[in-house]
Amino acid sequence: MFEKAMIHRLLLGLTASAFLITGTATADDGHDDDNDAVKYRHQVMATMGSSFGAFILLFMNKVEQPEKHLVANARILATAAALTADLVPEGSQGGEALPAIWDDMDEYQKLAQEVADATASLAASAEAGDRAGMGKAFKAAGQSCKGCHDKFREEDD
């Protein structure tokens, strides 16, 4: 069982990360890419960040909304995460994606599956109303996102 303070620290840190990510959802990502596949990948990832941020606010009771909002954001996150394995076809190099993805596609696919599985678990816990399960799944989702970003995403300036 997670200590409430530990979950709170984790959620606050991930909230900050999510808000930093979502701030660029429709903005230029700082790259000169005209590749629509790169733009699409960026939008899907921004959707994940936005849903993660909204989920955190709801889970931490920072805003009052019906429970269906918590469930909906978890589902959106899981749906977007299920797409990540397909977001890096050959010819879509650029954006914030490091060339290492195309050099080690097997590892990228493994990490993309971990993200998809963790967020699916989060959505299932939200649908069941299982707050303890949501806490565990949220931690796993955050760690899986971070694991992929650490290896395959360009660092922010």
pLDDT of 20-39, one tens digit each? 444 444 444 445 458 999 99
Say if residue 16's pLDDT is above 50: no
CA–CA distance, 121 with 138 (Å, rounded to integer): 9
Give alpha helix (H) positions in the chain.
Answer: 4-22, 36-59, 67-81, 100-103, 105-128, 131-152
Would you place residue 14 in the very low, low, confident or very high pLDDT band (cuts 50, 70, 90)? low
CA–CA distance, 19 with 130 (Å, rounded to integer): 25
CA–CA distance, 79 with 26 (Å, rounded to integer): 20
Domains and CATH numbers, the chain: 4-152 (1.20.120.10)
Other Cβ atoms closer than 10 A to 153: 17
Would you place residue 13 in the very low, low, confident or very high pLDDT band (cuts 50, 70, 90)? low
